[in-house]
């Protein structure tokens, strides 16, 4: 729970010192989707999870089922098909995760290029959290950290302009060229099943 420092001050000649407790073995994870659709308000959907002490054999990160449940919740909240664009985290490429996505007719998934955090709007969300909810704060216990993070995320949820700004920072565009219909073995061309696809980032 070592806090990031955004700015400090002290008397001239005195180095500012921020005292915190020793590092905790407990861990708190957050996964988030920034959701965009032309003509509609941008959304932030997230889920959090507190992990057990890893010394007791607990997992210290999200499992593929956690991401699956997040996608299902997003589909229910957004009420439409999802075009998911996410990074190359190992769990995102888990064969069970791929099988789940392949089995759904409401989700189409693409992966960002390797090592391209600058193309992921969610990285902007994490940066904002570090510079606001976490900066210059010595958290007293895990509950204090959880409250601060959730409060910060809720504030961002109400600011679609901030979520839009995270997309703008990536220089990606919502619009894409219309795909040309193709005839495969005499099959009649059909319109895309995702006319109003919702790009998302995780």
CATH at 148: 3.30.420.10
Residue 37 sits in which domain range?
A: 27-173+195-201
| Reported pTM | 0.72
Please state, in angstroms and rounded to a whole number, the distance separating the CA atoms of residues 29 and 66.
Answer: 11
Asked whether residue 45 is domain-assigned, the answer is yes
Q: Could you list the mean pLDDT of each consecutive 10-residue stretch along the chain, which spans 202 residues? A: 61 74 67 92 90 61 92 94 92 95 94 91 90 78 84 92 93 66 44 38 38
Please state, in angstroms and rounded to a whole number, the distance separating the CA atoms of residues 121 and 163.
Answer: 8
Asked whether residue 184 is domain-assigned, the answer is no
Asked whether residue 149 is domain-assigned, the answer is yes
Please state, in angstroms and rounded to a whole number, the distance separating the CA atoms of residues 138 and 18.
Answer: 8
Tally of domains within the chain: 1
Asked whether residue 186 is domain-assigned, the answer is no
Which of 28, 121, 26 has the alpha carbon at shortest distance from 66? 28
| Residues 85 and 117 sit within 8 Å (Cβ to Cβ) | no
Asked whether residue 178 is domain-assigned, the answer is no
């Amino acid at each position: 729970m070592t806090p990031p420092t955004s700015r400090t001050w002290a008397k001239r000649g005195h180095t500012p010192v921020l005292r915190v407790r020793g590092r905790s073995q407990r861990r708190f994870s957050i996964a988030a989707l920034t959701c965009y659709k032309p003509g509609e308000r941008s959304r932030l959907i997230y889920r959090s999870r507190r992990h057990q002490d890893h010394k007791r054999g607990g997992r210290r990160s999200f499992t593929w089922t956690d991401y699956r449940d997040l996608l299902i919740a997003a589909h229910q909240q957004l009420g439409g098909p999802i075009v998911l664009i996410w990074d190359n985290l190992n769990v995102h490429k888990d064969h069970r995760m791929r099988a789940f996505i392949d089995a759904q007719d409401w989700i189409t998934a693409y992966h960002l290029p390797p090592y391209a955090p600058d193309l992921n709007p969610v990285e902007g969300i994490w940066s904002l959290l570090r510079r606001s909810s976490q900066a210059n704060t010595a958290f007293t216990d895990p509950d204090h950290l959880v409250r601060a993070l959730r409060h910060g995320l809720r504030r961002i949820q109400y600011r679609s302009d901030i979520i839009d700004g995270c997309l703008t920072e990536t220089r990606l565009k919502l619009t894409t060229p219309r795909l040309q219909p193709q005839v495969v073995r005499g099959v009649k061309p059909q319109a895309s099943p995702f006319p109003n696809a919702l790009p998302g980032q995780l």
